[in-house]
Amino acid sequence: MNPRYQQSWKSQTKHMVVLRVLLWLCITILSIAGPCLFLDFISRYSMTTRHWFLFIIYIPLNAVLVFGFAQALFGFYLVMTQSEMRQISQSIYLSLSKTEQKHLNLSSKTALLFPVYNEDTSRFYAGVETTYRALKKSGHLDAFDIFILSDSTNPNRWIAEEEHWLSLIQKLDAEEKIYYRHRFKNLNQKSGNISDFCRRWGSNYDHMICFDADSLMTTETLLSLVLMMEKNPQVGIIQTSPRIFQGETLFARLQQFANRIHGEISSAGLNLWQQSGGNYWGHNGIIRMAPFIKYCTLPALPGNSPLGGRVLSHDFVEAALIHKQGYEIWLAHDLEGSYEECPPTLLDFASRDRRWCQGNLQHIWIALFGEIPFANRTHMINGILAYLSAPLWLLFLLMSTLLTYSFYVSNLSLLSQPSKLAIMPESIMLHGLIILSLSFVYLFGPKLFTIIRLLIDPAFAIRFGGFLKASISVLIEVVFFSLLAPLLMLFHSAFVLGTLIGQKVQWNTQNRDSQSHTSLTSALAAHGGQTLVGLFWAILAGIINPFLFFWASPIFLSWLFAPLLSIITSHHGLGLWFKKQDLLLTPEEVKPCKEIKLLEKILSKREKIETPIPELVPHQGLIRVALDPYVNALHYGFLRPRSKQQPLTQKRFEHLVKDLILKGPDSLSSEDRWHLLNDSRSVENLHNTLWKTNSSKLCPWWSLAISRFRLSYS
């Protein structure tokens, strides 16, 4: 190891300590100064209950902005001065060359986990194949095993996953390297899926790296993560900073551009304050197996769902639990090769946020009452405030509008008292503008840092298509997100309210299909209420005071044109148009790494599967298991052998098989069909009995299925 790195890694430099103190000082001072200025401002009218109420709402709103701004400010300083930051990657050599990669001597064994839940099978397996092929090429495949952990509840997806697994291991000759496991019941969803792996096979491995269904990591990153874990036994989790990629719709491209161009600065700031008290984001991170198994059992939260019961957003809690036992958690933000995809449309994004909102609000219990380290409590409070700030902002806007209204209907003239702060101007208007400007600085300052960086650092600008194109892209991104933010605020407010009054969240599969844009009907259904709110509010503001209308017009515009914005940003064609103009470009598009190229190659070579006729589509998986002896044998092999089945249960299953064949699949409930597909005896029985049943006795649906099945072979 480089001795210089080793030395800086072992202890914090004086410079680092000063910077960290300064960062916290900055957060504290700005979090206090903002509300003080605001209090001074509103007290110049008169302090009534209404004003105190407004002041109380302002405190957390200001704090959220300050935290993000301070993080970006210090991140900007670190990135621009290339200061010697203490980061986990210093414990190894970064940028392993091909020769260095080949000569690495990994002494540990790592499981690569690919949880899947009703996802697009071919896209999912393309990710697995890319990872496998890249690892094999690196010569370090022996140090890894791949596990596909399926929780799919859609039989069609489930059977397709099994078939894909078989063809993949045949194609790659990857027996005993890529394993597939399906759970009968997806108890505790993703966290339950991972725990199940830990209980079955976890102790065979030193580490695990969890992927998302759409994530990708380069070999260099995987090897670096393992190496860092081997060199630092005190580390429990290393989280990478996933870059968003493969965005095609305008919405996804805006997200991926923002994540990519501003991400490095904010990650550097985040790493500065959190250091060894980092967080886990659920995927694209490496975990030390033994302490995870020992300490990361999730607690049951007080009360019932939605706020209590089972922990939904398990990642933050797991990080807290492992950190509590003295293990360090680091953010390896400088590792480039870690990617994930983004929901293609605003509605998909909002639907994901609905789940995250409930998960983060649940953390209130742990943040308030759990014995966890300070850093983890800060992460949780940040997460909670990310959603709680939406209804607070809405309330703040509502109260401000009503205050203005009450002033105008009172017909009183404005008699303001002088400011209590000597530095503040005499004009109350100017005073108000200063406070507003401060909020704008917090909001748009980080964007300005990026533009400055683009100007100063040409190498950085080239990665995004050059200074001019990248700066224009930042402006486009700022305009779009300024319009999208009020929409998200209304969504988040509804989610928070929904969670608080007991609405539970459904764990649906995330839509990752960028070709299906938002229809007018769905846009109106989702945003109709927001448009009405915008219309009503705009009229009210216009009546009260044109000045108020003018100031709040960006928010009204966003709400009024919400359906249009949602449809426009969901378009694949528009996203590609921006790409053709070299706008919203990311380094992965300018110069993709070999793994992304490989993934794209695999995706482009995907075989086009012939779509079955509509009548057969809903039960395609069942048809494959029932008619194809090899799919049947494969599926049978994955099921638990039933050696001791109760005679009554056996009889019931036999009856179900008979009904299924003679009356068709719709005669059975989906639950019964699910149970049949999970019973090995029934699966074998179904295949044999179906082929043996006289065609005159078969229900017409099966006759059709058999004839189409025969056709598929001819």
Binding window for other proteins (CB under 8 A); candidates: 397-405, 441-449, 457-465, 599-607: 397-405
How far apart (Å, rounded) are the C-alpha atoms in residues 126 and 341? 14
Write the CA distances from 651 to 184, 645, 655, 656, 670, integer angstroms: 21, 10, 6, 9, 19
Q: Which of residues 92-151 bind other proteins (CB under 8 A)?
A: 145
Q: Which of residues 216-275 bind other proteins (CB under 8 A)?
A: none
Q: Which of 139, 370, 498, 664 binds other proteins (CB under 8 A)?
A: 370
> Which sign does the torsion angle of CA 363, 368, 372, 374 carry?
positive
By beta-carbon proximity to other proteins, the closer residue of 471 and 689 is 689
> Can residue 406 be called a binding residue for other proteins (CB under 8 A)?
yes
Q: Which of residues 310-339 bind other proteins (CB under 8 A)?
A: 317, 321, 324-325
By beta-carbon proximity to other proteins, the closer residue of 67 and 537 is 537
Shortest distance, position 400 Cβ to other proteins, whole Å:
9
Q: Which of 641, 649, 663, 666 binds other proteins (CB under 8 A)?
A: 641
> Can residue 541 be called a binding residue for other proteins (CB under 8 A)?
no
The DSSP secondary-structure symbol of 615 reads T
> Can residue 703 be called a binding residue for other proteins (CB under 8 A)?
no
> Can residue 654 be called a binding residue for other proteins (CB under 8 A)?
no
Shortest distance, position 472 Cβ to other proteins, whole Å:
42
Shortest distance, position 430 Cβ to other proteins, whole Å:
24
Binding window for other proteins (CB under 8 A); candidates: 74-82, 84-92, 396-404, 506-514: 396-404
Nearest to 85 by CA among 269, 263, 237: 269
> Can residue 412 be called a binding residue for other proteins (CB under 8 A)?
no
Q: How many residues does the chain have?
A: 714
> Can residue 402 be called a binding residue for other proteins (CB under 8 A)?
yes
By beta-carbon proximity to other proteins, the closer residue of 303 and 573 is 303
Shortest distance, position 399 Cβ to other proteins, whole Å:
5
Shortest distance, position 691 Cβ to other proteins, whole Å:
5
Shortest distance, position 638 Cβ to other proteins, whole Å:
6
> Can residue 371 be called a binding residue for other proteins (CB under 8 A)?
yes
Q: Which of 229, 372, 388, 552 binds other proteins (CB under 8 A)?
A: 372
By beta-carbon proximity to other proteins, the closer residue of 399 and 443 is 399
Beta-bridge mates of residue 182? 150
Q: Which of residues 675-694 bind other proteins (CB under 8 A)?
A: 680, 684, 688, 691-694
Q: Which of residues 47-76 bind other proteins (CB under 8 A)?
A: 49-50, 53
> Can residue 403 be called a binding residue for other proteins (CB under 8 A)?
yes
How far apart (Å, rounded) are the C-alpha atoms in residues 659 and 647? 18
By beta-carbon proximity to other proteins, the closer residue of 31 and 195 is 195
How far apart (Å, rounded) are the C-alpha atoms in residues 240 and 337? 9
Write the CA distances from 275 to 241, 268, 329, 434, integer angstroms: 14, 10, 8, 34
Nearest to 278 by CA among 328, 337, 224: 328
Q: Which of 21, 95, 630, 663 binds other proteins (CB under 8 A)?
A: 630
How far apart (Å, rounded) are the C-alpha atoms in residues 105 and 143? 10
Shortest distance, position 210 Cβ to other proteins, whole Å:
16
Burial class (CB in 10 A: 0-12, 13-18, 19+), 67: buried
Q: Which of 95, 97, 204, 516 binds other proteins (CB under 8 A)?
A: 204
Binding window for other proteins (CB under 8 A); candidates: 251-259, 280-288, 361-369, 603-611: 361-369
Binding window for other proteins (CB under 8 A); candidates: 199-207, 330-338, 548-556, 669-677: 199-207
Q: Which of residues 284-303 bind other proteins (CB under 8 A)?
A: 293-303
Q: Which residues are within 8 A (CB) of 538 and not within 5 positions of it... i.e. 6 or more apart? A: 549, 552, 553, 556, 560
Binding window for other proteins (CB under 8 A); candidates: 197-205, 249-257, 426-434, 449-457: 197-205
By beta-carbon proximity to other proteins, the closer residue of 300 and 648 is 300
Ranges of beta strands (E only) in 511-595 are none
Structure tokens at 476: 């486009």
Shortest distance, position 198 Cβ to other proteins, whole Å:
6
Structure tokens at 652: 């019931």
**Tell me, what amino acid is at 295?**
Y
Shortest distance, position 497 Cβ to other proteins, whole Å:
9
> Can residue 554 be called a binding residue for other proteins (CB under 8 A)?
no
Q: Which of residues 500-539 bind other proteins (CB under 8 A)?
A: 501-502
Site string for other proteins, 153-172 (x = CB under 8 A): -------------x--xx--
> Can residue 578 be called a binding residue for other proteins (CB under 8 A)?
no
Shortest distance, position 41 Cβ to other proteins, whole Å:
17
> Can residue 180 be called a binding residue for other proteins (CB under 8 A)?
yes
Burial class (CB in 10 A: 0-12, 13-18, 19+), 462: middle
By beta-carbon proximity to other proteins, the closer residue of 450 and 678 is 678
> Can residue 175 be called a binding residue for other proteins (CB under 8 A)?
yes
Q: Which residues are within 8 A (CB) of 237 and not within 5 positions of it... i.e. 6 or more apart? A: 278, 280, 285, 286, 287, 288, 318, 319, 322, 327, 329, 330
Site residue total, other proteins (CB under 8 A): 77
**Tell me, what amino acid is at 195?**
S
Q: Could you tell me how many helices (H) and strands (E) the chain has, helices first? A: 28, 10
Tell me if 578 sits within 8 A of 250, measured CB to CB.
yes
Structure tokens at 389: 């700030």
How far apart (Å, rounded) are the C-alpha atoms in residues 601 and 713? 28
Shortest distance, position 378 Cβ to other proteins, whole Å:
17
Beta-bridge mates of residue 288? 207
Q: Which of residues 422-481 bind other proteins (CB under 8 A)?
A: none
Nearest to 384 by CA among 369, 367, 401: 367
By beta-carbon proximity to other proteins, the closer residue of 23 and 380 is 380
By beta-carbon proximity to other proteins, the closer residue of 81 and 411 is 411
> Can residue 28 be called a binding residue for other proteins (CB under 8 A)?
no
How far apart (Å, rounded) are the C-alpha atoms in residues 43 and 41? 6
Q: What letters, b where the CB count within 10 A reaches 16 and e where it falls short, cover 297-314?
A: ebeebeeebbbeebbbbb
> Can residue 374 be called a binding residue for other proteins (CB under 8 A)?
no
Write the CA distances from 254 to 129, 244, 320, 592, integer angstroms: 28, 10, 32, 18
How far apart (Å, rounded) are the C-alpha atoms in residues 534 and 552? 10
